[in-house]
Amino acid sequence: MAKTQSTIGAPVARVEGTEKVSGRAIYAADVQLSGALWGKILRSPYPHARIVRVDISQALKIKGVQAVLTGKDVAGHYRGKSIRDVPVLCWDKVRYVGDRVAAVAAETLDAAEEASARIEIEYEELPAVFDPVKAMEPGAPILHEDPATYDGVNKDILGKGVSNVVNHLSWSKGDIEKGFREADVVLEHTFRLPLRSQGYIEPQSVMLAIEDDGAVQAWASTKTPFAARNELSKAIGVPPDRIRINPVNVGGDFGGKGGSGDLPIAYFLAQRTKRPVRITLNYGEDLTTTNPDHLSVITVRTGVKRDGRMVARHVRAVHACGAYGGLKPGGGSIGGAGTVGPYRIENTFLEAIQVYTNIVPGGFWRAPGAIQAMFAVESHIDLIARELGMDPGEFRLKNLVGEGEENALGRKWSEVKSRETLQAALDAAGWKRPKPGPNYGRGVAMYERGTGAGKVWLGLTAERDGTLEIFTVSGDKGTGLKTVLCQAVAAAMEVPVEAVKIRVGNTSEAPASVDIGFGGSRSTNIGGHAALQACAELRAKLIAQAARVLGCEEANVVYSAGRFSAPDNRRRSLSLSEVVGAGEGPITVSVQLEVPRKGSSTSFVAQVAEVEVDPETGKVSLHRFISAHDIGTIINTLGHQGQIDGGAMMAIGAALTEELVLDEGKVTTPNLGEYKLPCIADVPQLKTVLVHSKGGPGPYEAKGIGEMANVSPPAAIANAVHDAVGVRIFDLPITAEKIYKALKNR
């Protein structure tokens, strides 16, 4: 029989792998309902304009068209995760190229597309603003005339007069002005990051049907089914308990699929036609009109002593929220400035500002706000080190937080492995070794992140055949959570992992208030703790039943490797199936709990890039990339390494190739030929170094890994390019053209 040690830490293959590679896995676009219509959305061609006139008469003449909706049909209906400021369909004005202005339901996709093209809309163009810094200036075009009326807004900000500022977060420590006065050297740099797609392969898709009694059945490519249900409920005015979000696989997320998507539009079309409605975006629509990561401007100012000690830092992160704030939770903000790295700094002031702009609304991107902040901070740190004549690795080692020390936000951690992690990366990269040739460079960058926490619900059943079934409403978006939960249960119940199954249910099968869904590096932590508690409760029930069969006290029952026995009758033991079979049916427990955030725990990552730059063209070749991670217990070695490699490549793409290019607010990279995701030919030599520590907050002392490797690579690569040819690129992506121009202007 499998033992705990052979299950935890094993490279167990994905439990859903066969279903996926065989094509049997069901995604939202695969759902088939009798009589379902195709929905198509008409979008604004202008970044900012008033809607003067809408004529749908020609659209209604298209054969197969069953309904055409305009903004006036659903006026007053908004959606959003925390701020509800996104019109289901615009009725008065549009605020970005791609804003939703009308929708069609038809028998075929071709008919829906033709009808949407026949809708005539007259617009009155308005002044637009695309840059978040300019959007804050006096006299800038105002996107929302009365934003304080929106549900969920921060009234302390949006209630103080009309402006484009959506949210403003700040953190401070010490006396920032005193710190700068005491500094021997003060440096300030500004960095820019463009819009970026999350890069999932499955475009967003929804299907919705209204039953005869008005109840709603929905399928959507969303990682947070309860949040999607609540958002849909508020948008359409139907109570949450009358809405069921049914489980489907999610074909990648990386932060981009956490809400209701186009379910509200599908609902109103289904209500009008009395038939189910499907809306599946094509990839051009997904890339140009959904919720990419933010265009951001980050300014970092740091005061240092001549000996290299940092004494003051001010970070100002200005994010282009886009036309609406409703595509993000947390008051429409992504923070970001609060990510300052694992350094001791006595005096700090950090602020993150979200600003309405006439571009596609921003959403979450794996580790929201962190890649922006750390590209700026870690690039800036290299510039400080070079100004002081210090090695960038040594400069970081000098300023890293240690055990019992406070970081720049005043936080203390236990089991601090910052120095060990950085040193491991430097050693693995051969930091001090001579470079392979001219125009080669090495760059290093760091990041730290705590393991996420939150509410979770989970059921566990012992079946008559001796198998165990996990029941969860947290589906599968590619993270490997299903497999990790099966491993955790197999270890706790001392059975082979093959004896554990997992089933994903709908939102009507679990308490709505106790499952937060995926995201925030929390899934293994909260799901794993729920699984272990469920195992403990299930074992107690099984032992009670075994005691009745064995004729002994519960305290005398011994459970080992899936069998039950009593000390006075060792020759007789009962299997799991025999114990369950002795009762009236399967034995089930359910657990709901809130896993608290463990403030004393965090994880560190240090990454080193080695590049070669062609000075004649500016072309960057990334030869090696090293990631050193401070880790706890690894539950699944295969999945753990996959998170590291996948995260690193995601950020390498952000560093070198990925940008949703804007032209007067319009995204002009509408396909994967022009939006360049990394492919296998772009993968450098990857090396991982693991630094083990104790006390991880997760099950079996695990630590989060899902949002660790995907933050600091852009800074490491920018630093390597600077080391190679002496030019600094302040805005992503780091292209050959930018390097060439910098070299010519040097």
Residue 54 token pair: 């809408």
Q: Return the C-alpha torsion angle 528, 529, 533, 538, nearest 10.
A: -10
Q: Is 641 helix (H, G, I), strand (E, B) or coil?
A: helix
Residue 390 burial (CB count, 10 A): 16
Q: Which segments of the chain have a pLDDT < 70? A: 1-5, 159-161, 512-518, 570-571
Q: Please work out, in degrees rounded to the nearest 5, the angle formed at the alpha carbon of residue 739 by the alpha carbons of 424 and 298.
A: 70
Domains 4-25+453-595 and 296-451+598-745 share a fold: yes
**Could you tell me which CATH class the domain 4-25+453-595 is placed in?**
alpha beta
Secondary structure (3-state) at 707: coil
Q: Which residues contact 110 (CB under 8 A, 6 or more apart)?
A: none
pLDDT at 455: 86
**SS3 assignment, position 269:** helix
- Token digits of residue 566: 């009593």
List the helix and strand counts (H, then E) for the chain.
Answer: 19, 30
Dihedral of the alpha carbons of 705, 706, 708, 710, in degrees to the nearest 10: 150
Cα 62 to chain centroid, rounded: 41
Rounded to 5 degrees, φ, ψ at 486 are -65, -40
Burial class for 34, CB neighbours closer than 10 Å (0-12, 13-18, 19+): exposed
Within 8 A by CB and 6+ apart from 666, the residues are 47, 97, 288
The answer to whether residues 314 and 348 touch, using CB atoms and an 8 Å cutoff, is yes
The gap from C-alpha 450 to its chain's centroid, in whole angstroms, comes to: 15
Answer for the pair 629, 569: CB distance below 8 angstroms, yes or no. Answer: no
Amino acid residing at 22: S
Q: What are the phi and psi torsion angles at 271 (to 5°)?
A: -65, -40
Determine the 3-state secondary structure of 448 from DSSP.
strand
Q: Which two tokens stand for residue 423?
A: 């040193």
Q: Strand ranges (DSSP E) for 452-524? A: 454-462, 468-472, 500-504
* 143 vs 356: CA distance, rounded Å: 7
pLDDT attached to residue 1: 32
C-alpha distances (whole Å) from 522 to each of 315, 478, 713 are: 27, 14, 22
CATH number belonging to the domain at 296-451+598-745, selected among 3.40.50.620, 3.30.360.10, 3.20.20.140, 3.30.365.10: 3.30.365.10
305, two tokens: 């002593």
Domain ranges of the chain: 4-25+453-595, 31-127+204-280, 296-451+598-745
Whole-angstrom Cα distance, residue 560 to residue 557?
10
Q: Residue 328 to residues 260, 332, 367, 588: CA-CA distances in angstroms? A: 12, 5, 13, 36
The structure tokens 């026995």 sit at 565
Secondary structure of residue 390 in the 3-state scheme? coil
Tokens of 697: 């907050």
CB 738 within 8 A of CB 659: no
Instruction: Enter the tokens of residue 426.
Output: 């430097």
Answer positive or negative: Cα dihedral of 713, 714, 715, 717. positive
In sequence order, what E strands does 384-530 have? 440-449, 454-462, 468-472, 500-504
Q: Please, which residues have CB within 8 angstroms of residue 88's CB and are 6 or more apart in sequence?
A: 74, 77, 78, 79, 100, 235, 264, 265, 268
Contact 384, 345 (CB under 8 A): no
CB burial of 199-221 (b: ≥16 within 10 Å; e: otherwise) equals bbebbbbbbbbbeeeeebbbbbb
d(CA 415, CA 394): 22
- Pair type for strands 454-462 and 78-79: unpaired
Whether the CA torsion 195, 645, 412, 529 is positive or negative: it is positive
In whole angstroms, what is the distance from residue 385 CA to residue 391 CA?
6
Least Cα distance to 172 among 296, 41, 352 occurs for: 352
Q: Which value, to the nearest 10 degrees, does the dihedral of the CA atoms of residues 626, 631, 637, 640 take?
A: -70
**388, 306 contact by CB (below 8 A):** yes
- 344: three-class secondary structure by DSSP: coil
Query: Right CATH number for 31-127+204-280 from 2.140.10.10, 3.90.1170.50, 3.10.50.40, 3.40.50.620?
Result: 3.90.1170.50
Instruction: State the Cα–Cα distance between residues 454 and 224, nearest whole angstrom.
Output: 13
> What is the pLDDT, as a whole number, of residue 728?
98
**What's the pLDDT score for residue 570?**
65
| Lookup: tokens for 35 | 């009589």
